[in-house]
Structure 1
Amino acid sequence: MTDRQAPRGLARRVGGQVQHEIMQLILDRRLRSGDPLPTETELMEELGVSRNSIREALKGLQALDIVEVRHGYGTYVGQLSLTPLADGLTFRTLHELGSDVRALSEILQVREILEAGLIRRVATTIPEDDLAALDAVVRRMETRARAGETFAEEDRQFHELLYRSLGNALVPQFLEVFWKVFDRVSGIRGWNHDPSPIGTVRRHRAIVTALRRRDVEAAEQALSKHFRNIDTRVEKAARRDRPTDEPDHR
């Protein structure tokens, strides 16, 4: 039975199997990001499936950033990033916001839980070089705030620098996911305005001050205050935009 003749349910199952077999091939050959994969013809011969099955599987893996198809050049191992997670969370949050304004707050809550655990790990060991870098970022934030400018990029850099000393490659990727989701969603809904940028700068400085004292509890409390402020801003913006006849889901 050919791919075109196969029942739809079977075609999906086979397509998923082929994806897993290609992933296993990547693992077995210890291929790294940017390494070339076998050609379509070679994959057909090795896996014993049709060209259509290979192409369907590669499209699915490309959407997951597991492979990268460079037209005219071949197929390569992808960047293996968390971009698909960010895209999925963004869509889910926007979809849920249609009926429940808590959707964005849930993203913030998960990020806060992650960072609360991380800051406890670094509070007593963060290097002086990282503290100096955090101070420099806060100064740039303050300069922009006093000039009436936004400082989203500096804010993102601040949170990445906080945990740089852990040497965990997944941490900045997860932070980037949550940052992208919040930035996209709040931007689309018009909820990213900060009514008190100088206050936001002070809350970031309080985090650095607690870290300089190697005070774990104070650092965690300062971080929590920072997130409470963001959560409050989102909730106020959501209440402002909520139709008067729409129930409050809190």
Structure 2
Amino acid sequence: MSITLDLGEAVIPHGAYSTLLASPATQAETTITAIKNYILRTGLQVGDALPTESQLCSDLGVSRSSVREAVRTLVALDIVEVRHGHGMFVGKVSMRPMVESLVFRGLLNPGDDHRGLRDIVEVRITLDKALAEPVTQTWKNRQDTEIDQIVAQMDVHAQKGELFTEQDRRFHIRLLEPLDNHLFLHLTEAFWAVHTLTVPLLGAPRPEDMLSAARAHRTMLQAARAGDTQAYREAITDHYAPLLAALT
């Protein structure tokens, strides 16, 4: 007996329904999941080699076009890295795709009083303040010549009216490195990258803002070493105040 499925104006024979379910898009999505599961199942780590395209087709039972489309998507997500002439490898699985999406989102409505950029900065402030307690517990009475040098370099640059973007990044990364949860570190680095990439849209910062930012970083470190969570949160507020003012 012939069975048909009535989908509004289209009447599809029952035998053709399975073909629709196995559309190229669905196959590619299935292949993406299969490749990710293969990486997890075989215990591959960042930088490890993946099977060749032909091997993946055979092992996963999918077409070459599905593998190629899946790999393109996984490369964009930084899960797979293609090295031409060498093969495919497990990617860095970084926060880069999220960073790029957030940066683009922040740029979408430049005439909207920088609403998208303010949202990003406010999320970063919330994360920094949420980490205040573990940071102050970890850094209480902790000595570290590297972070001291970073803060000193910030002071020098600020006094000269120079930006200290790299020192800013290193400061926040170094502050979170001793924490047990490294996801905090990766998220902070991602949000730092987002707002650092978008800040140039505001024009050159005022010299007094750079001096204020340098002082705020020093105060954050002092509060952390004193184990003073409240003072640390207040220093975070001072740190971001000039940026929020510019975005407003």
Name the TM-score class by shorter chain: 0.7 to 0.9
Name the structure 2 match of 1:102: 115
Name the structure 2 match of 1:245: none
Q: Which amino acid aligns with 2:91?
A: G
Structure 1 pair 137/14, CA: closer, same or farther in 2 (3 Å)? same
- Aligned residue pairs, count: 229
TM-score, normalised on structure 2?
0.85
Structure 1 pair 92/14, CA: closer, same or farther in 2 (3 Å)? same
Q: Which moved more, 1:67-76 or 1:167-176?
A: 167-176
Q: Distance in 1 between matches of 2:145 and 2:229?
A: 18
Name the structure 2 match of 1:150: 163
Name the structure 2 match of 1:233: 246
Q: Distance in 1 between matches of 2:22 and 2:54?
A: 25
1:71 counterpart (81, 84, 106): 84
SS at match of 1:134: helix
Q: Percent identity?
A: 35
Q: Which string of whole-angstrom CA distances, capped at 9 and with x for unpartnered residues, describes residues 128-164 of structure 1?
A: 5555433322211111122232111111111112222
- Residue 82 in structure 1 maps to residue 110 in structure 2: no
- Residue 211 in structure 1 maps to residue 224 in structure 2: yes
Name the structure 2 match of 1:133: 146
Kept after mapping to 2: 8 A contact 1:31/1:77: yes
| CA root-mean-square deviation | 2.1
Q: Give 5+ residue unaligned stretches, structure 2.
A: 1-18
Cα displacement (A) at 1:45: 0.9
Name the structure 1 match of 2:205: 193
Which has the higher Rg, Structure 1 or Structure 2?
2
Cα displacement (A) at 1:212: 2.6
Name the structure 1 match of 2:173: 160
Q: Give 5+ residue unaligned stretches, structure 1.
A: 1-5, 236-250
Q: Distance in 2 between matches of 1:127 and 1:207?
A: 12
- Residue 37 in structure 1 maps to residue 50 in structure 2: yes
